[in-house]
């Protein structure tokens, strides 16, 4: 009775706010504990790095400045100067925007960078070697490197072996001045000389990629030292350019490998459990648990496995047919629809196919819908690792909040249409084609809008989400026919949303602190609010 009183009012209306808050708090605490215990403790430097990746450079600058005073090192000095440079640039952009809006408040919304005098005083108090590097890097940022400082760094770069950081600094200067070939040579020398800075080799290769100098890129990768230090991205891009889809398929898993960190796995697993619980309630698993439980587990596993054909299709599309994002909106719409949307939906449907004969013989329409949704959830669980590995927490967490149900609805809707088509090909062929085109188009439009904020971004993308959700819930309502006892699907939905929200807040809190976590999660939480409102209206009758 206590549980029912928590979930329902005395008049039988579902309570949502209190159960939702309890779910958010519980998920937050559990995720916070698991992420803490499964990962090394996050340092202040990790937090500053996360703030930099989340467009909060002034907040990161404060942390770097404090750390540099406590522990003066070259890496911290360079990080501080980069944060200061970005913070100043952001301040100028906001000021220009405010001026164009006739003085509307805007600067108060961002943190101000430290003053130039304070920064110069901090650098002056550093040890000589660290101060020399800092003076050079600051001079590069200000387009005025002192002559004596430049001579010292140049002399150190030409030593045999060269001094640490010297070639890196000359590479930064050359890159700022537009001497790209010189910059690539300096970065490459730094990266092959010092193993701890092998990332400089990738920076050099990225310059050749940006210049589209494929012959030089191929020549540099032919050097065993460069090839050993280089990451997989340049190798993959070269394979794509050469149209070698087999080589592209070999290097692509390495490009995706960084997503397999412990934190992402924990977050994705907890969120998947929350949404799997929603699917279980939606599909009335308790009424046929011996049949439905194993089917649901297999469907989720097949969804995770659907990433394999997706990776192969990416390699073929990019290497063979040059279907890539270009930055041109008109072409990118086609890329997201016929590239991203088509390959992902085709891969998920392909992995759902083995379940269909079993579901048609021993299951019903509801089983088809829920197993399709669970295939989508399995795909989303793996894709979430990519979102969480992104450098921008606002983008990564924003997509993490909405991607699970989006893929569930896409694949569930498509699976239902396929079931109808198999039952009567002549009668349902046209409907299956319409649904397939709709699902692929909605998927592509959603991804395009999220990747192009200038066209409305998250908020317009919710329109696609609402259309898809309405279609999916109509199919589920028809298949469920009558309500069952116990927790309603609406409560299960609120629970799943609460779990994802709590996990996201835990991740954001550990990454950048509680205050900044709400800032970087802002757009995602707003999108989540839109989804909840729409679902409450649709699910109250189930």
Span of 229-233, 401-405, 463-467, 486-490 with lowest mean pLDDT: 486-490
| CA angle, 202 then 206 then 210, to 5° | 175
Per-residue pLDDT for 412 more than 80? Answer: yes
Q: In Å, how far from its chain's centre is CA 278?
A: 23
When the pLDDT of each residue in the chain is averaged and rounded to a whole number, the result is 84
What is the dihedral angle through the alpha carbons of 4, 10, 16, 20, rounded to the nearest 10 degrees? -40
Report the alpha-carbon distance of residue 243 to residue 478 in Å, rounded. Answer: 47
pLDDT the model gives residue 95: 77
Per-residue pLDDT for 228 more than 90? Answer: yes
Model confidence at 105, in pLDDT bands (50, 70, 90)? very low
Enumerate the domain spans of the chain. Answer: 45-144, 261-539
Q: Is the pTM of this model over 0.85?
A: no
- Is residue 508 within 8 Å of residue 542, measured between CB atoms? no
User: What are the b/e assignments for 37-65, b being 16+ CB within 10 Å?
Assistant: eeeeebeebbbbbbbbbbbbbbbbbbbbb
- Is residue 267 within 8 Å of residue 400, measured between CB atoms? yes
Per-residue pLDDT for 244 more than 80? Answer: yes
Give burial (CB, 10 Å; 0-12/13-18/19+) of 115. Answer: exposed
Span of 72-76, 402-406, 509-513 with lowest mean pLDDT: 509-513
Per-residue pLDDT for 103 more than 50? Answer: no
Per-residue pLDDT for 8 more than 70? Answer: no
Report the alpha-carbon distance of residue 111 to residue 413 in Å, rounded. Answer: 45
Model confidence at 104, in pLDDT bands (50, 70, 90)? very low
User: What residues are paired with 14 via a beta bridge?
Assistant: 8
Q: What is the chain's alpha carbon radius of gyration, rounded to the nearest angstrom?
A: 26
Choose among 200, 211, 269, 272: nearest CA to 237.
211
């Amino acid at each position: 009775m206590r549980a029912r009183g928590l979930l329902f009012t005395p008049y039988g209306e579902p309570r949502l706010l209190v159960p939702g808050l309890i779910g958010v708090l519980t998920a937050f605490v559990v995720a916070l504990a698991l992420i803490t215990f499964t990962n090394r403790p996050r340092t202040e430097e990790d937090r500053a790095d996360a703030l930099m990746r989340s467009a909060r450079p002034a907040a990161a600058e404060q942390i770097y400045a404090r750390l540099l005073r406590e522990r003066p090192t070259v890496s911290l000095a360079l990080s501080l100067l980069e944060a200061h440079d970005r913070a100043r640039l952001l301040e100028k952009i906001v000021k220009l925007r405010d001026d164009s809006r006739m003085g509307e408040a805007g600067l108060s919304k961002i943190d101000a960078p430290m003053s130039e005098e304070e920064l110069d005083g901090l650098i002056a108090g550093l040890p000589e070697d660290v101060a020399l590097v800092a003076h050079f890097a600051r001079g590069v940022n200000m387009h005025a490197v002192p002559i004596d400082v430049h001579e010292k760094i140049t002399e150190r770069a030409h030593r045999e072996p060269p001094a640490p950081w010297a070639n890196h600094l000359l590479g930064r200067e050359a890159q700022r001045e537009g001497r790209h070939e010189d910059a690539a040579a300096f970065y490459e020398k730094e990266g092959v000389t010092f193993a701890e800075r092998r990332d400089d080799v990738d920076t050099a290769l990225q310059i050749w990629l940006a210049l589209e100098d494929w012959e030089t890129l191929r020549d540099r990768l032919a050097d065993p030292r460069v090839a050993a230090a280089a990451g997989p991205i340049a190798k993959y891009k070269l394979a794509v350019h050469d149209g070698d889809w087999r080589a592209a398929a070999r290097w692509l898993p390495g490009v995706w490998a960084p997503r397999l960190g412990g934190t992402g796995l924990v977050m994705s697993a907890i969120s998947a459990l929350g949404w799997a619980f929603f699917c279980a309630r939606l599909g009335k698993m308790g009424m046929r648990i011996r049949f439905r439980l194993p089917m649901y587990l297999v469907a989720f596993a097949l969804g995770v496995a659907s990433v394999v054909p997706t990776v192969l299709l990416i390699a073929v599309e990019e290497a063979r047919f040059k279907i890539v994002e270009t930055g041109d909106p008109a072409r990118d719409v086609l890329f997201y629809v016929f590239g991203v949307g088509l390959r992902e939906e085709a891969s998920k449907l392909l992995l759902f196919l083995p379940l269909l004969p079993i579901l048609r013989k021993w299951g019903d329409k509801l089983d088809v819908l829920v197993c399709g949704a669970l295939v989508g959830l399995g795909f989303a669980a793996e894709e979430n690792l990519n979102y969480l590995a992104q450098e921008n927490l606002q983008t990564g967490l924003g997509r993490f909040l909405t991607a699970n149900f989006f893929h569930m609805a896409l694949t569930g809707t498509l699976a239902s249409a396929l079931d109808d088509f198999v039952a009567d090909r002549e009668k349902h062929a046209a409907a299956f084609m319409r649904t397939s085109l709709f699902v692929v188009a909605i998927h592509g439009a959603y991804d395009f809008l999220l990747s192009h904020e200038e066209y409305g971004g998250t908020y317009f993308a919710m329109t696609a989400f609402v259309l898809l959700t309405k279609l999916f819930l109509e199919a589920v309502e028809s298949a469920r026919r009558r309500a069952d006892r116990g927790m309603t699907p609406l409560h299960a939905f609120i629970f799943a949303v609460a779990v994802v929200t709590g996990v996201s807040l835990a991740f954001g809190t550990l990454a950048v602190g509680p205050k900044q976590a709400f800032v970087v999660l802002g757009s995602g939480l707003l999108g989540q609010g839109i989804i909840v409102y729409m679902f409450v209206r649709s699910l109250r009758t189930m």
